Amino acid sequence: MDELLIDNAGRVRVLRMNRPDKRNALNNALTRALVDALAAAEADETVHCVVLTGNGPAFCAGADIAEFKDLTPEQMHRVEERAELTMQLHLAVSRMSKPVIAAVNGFAMGGGAGLALACDLVLAARSARIGYPEVKHGIVAAIVLPNLTRQVGRKMAFELVATGEAIDAERAVALGMFNGVHDDERLMDATLALAERLAAVSRPAMATTKRTFHEVVDLPLARGLEVGREANKRMRSFVRTDR
């Protein structure tokens, strides 16, 4: 079975994690497939937007603990390779010029929650739940923390990772983790409709919007305004009809 299913819907590429019997837990193969598929979508000029979702009843249960037996102090090269791969997955979306939308169709836990929040936009099924249960298993929600703290703030981020408790989709919207909630049967229709709207935007305008957003989000105000000024000047050379 392929760990990742890839389909095109016009200018939208749909990536569907495909380990339903494992709730789409992130093993090495799936993580690598996601990194490679995002790079391929970025390089493909026919793709203007990407949708990421899960096959089956869950979005992603997080890291596949079945592989933890190989991640030991005696095999540090494996530990380092896995940590690097996970980090690259979380960086991949922010480095792309094309928007990526997560369609959270069920549980998004641990690394799965981090993967959803790494996307530019997140729509969720009403039944979805999101959380960081690592502490309950004696491990640490580490690589997911930078995106989480940027989106919900310090106090709420610490509560989520320190208690390990999951929250429902409505609460996640209120905290700014999700952009919207839809009935389960309408989630993909709503996500694809949003993706098509984003895909219709001028490619240079979208690429500059995304690049500028990620550049200014953590800058001091004055420096952020300077970055915005330069982007504004570059926009003057764009052709409005360039799609």
Tell me the catalytic residues: 134
Instruction: Measure the CA–CA gap between 3 and 142, rounded to whole angstroms.
Output: 24
Residues listed for the chain: 243
Instruction: Measure the CA–CA gap between 128 and 169, rounded to whole angstroms.
Output: 6
Tell me whether strands 107-109 and 58-60 are parallel, antiparallel or unpaired: parallel
Instruction: Measure the CA–CA gap between 65 and 55, rounded to whole angstroms.
Output: 19
Instruction: Measure the CA–CA gap between 164 and 62, rounded to whole angstroms.
Output: 13
Tell me whether strands 129-131 and 167-168 are parallel, antiparallel or unpaired: antiparallel
Burial class (CB in 10 A: 0-12, 13-18, 19+), 189: exposed
Instruction: Measure the CA–CA gap between 166 and 130, rounded to whole angstroms.
Output: 5
Instruction: Measure the CA–CA gap between 19 and 17, rounded to whole angstroms.
Output: 6
Contact between residue 8 and residue 49 where contact means Cβ atoms under 8 Å apart: no
Backbone φ and ψ of 187, nearest 5°:
-60, -50
